[in-house]
């Protein structure tokens, strides 16, 4: 896996790795250490945000000196409290050798991707991805996110 990632990094501008829970803590930590940027894609449910922050407490060493971006998927356009999202990743508690410890994950940018119900339904009816539906609200958000990563790394 690591050889494949190193090869892909040499040949491509961007390598996306979807870190699943089945990888385990050590492999996840190693993959995070290999990355230049970390992108959390989450939904707006506060319970989901809390679980993600708690799970990443177990691989905290993978976040040292990383550009960490959060994308809130399926945003209904009511706005998002960016300070509240960032606060979820502060003072995370975990147990180490029977001792309670805490740490924080520094979140940089926070983006949203629209929950474009009309395009999703139109796409389902047409059997096409929602992003291919004309005048969808998803593509502008995706371009905004992409510009952060590609403009910053030029």
3-state SS assignment for residue 79: coil
pLDDT digits (tens, 9 = 90+) for 2-58: 888 888 888 887 777 777 666 777 777 777 777 777 787 877 666 666 666 667 766
Return the sign of the alpha-carbon dihedral for residues 99, 100, 106, 109.
Answer: positive
Query: Who contacts 31 (Cβ-Cβ below 8 Å, separation ≥6)?
Result: 5, 17, 19, 23, 62
Dig out the tokens for 103 from the structure.
Answer: 């740490």
Return the sign of the alpha-carbon dihedral for residues 31, 33, 35, 38.
Answer: positive
Q: Report the pLDDT averaged over residues 77-101.
A: 77
The pTM score is: 0.70
Burial (0-12, 13-18, 19+ Cβ within 10 Å), 64: exposed
Q: Which residues pair with 101 in a beta bridge?
A: 94
């Amino acid at each position: 896996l690591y050889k494949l990632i190193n090869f892909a990094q040499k040949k491509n501008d961007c390598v996306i790795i979807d870190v699943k829970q089945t990888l385990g803590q050590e492999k996840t930590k190693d993959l995070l250490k290999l990355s230049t940027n970390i992108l959390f894609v989450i939904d707006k449910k506060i319970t989901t945000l809390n679980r993600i922050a708690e799970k990443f407490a177990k691989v905290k060493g993978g976040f040292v000196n990383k550009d960490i971006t959060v994308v809130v998927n399926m945003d209904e356009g009511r706005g998002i409290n960016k300070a509240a999202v960032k606060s979820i990743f502060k003072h995370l508690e975990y147990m180490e050798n029977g001792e309670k410890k805490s740490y924080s994950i520094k979140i940089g940018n926070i983006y949203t991707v629209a929950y474009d119900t009309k395009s999703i339904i139109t796409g389902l009816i047409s059997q096409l991805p929602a992003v291919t539906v004309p005048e969808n609200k998803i593509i502008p958000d995706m371009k905004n996110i992409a510009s952060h990563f590609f403009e910053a790394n030029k």
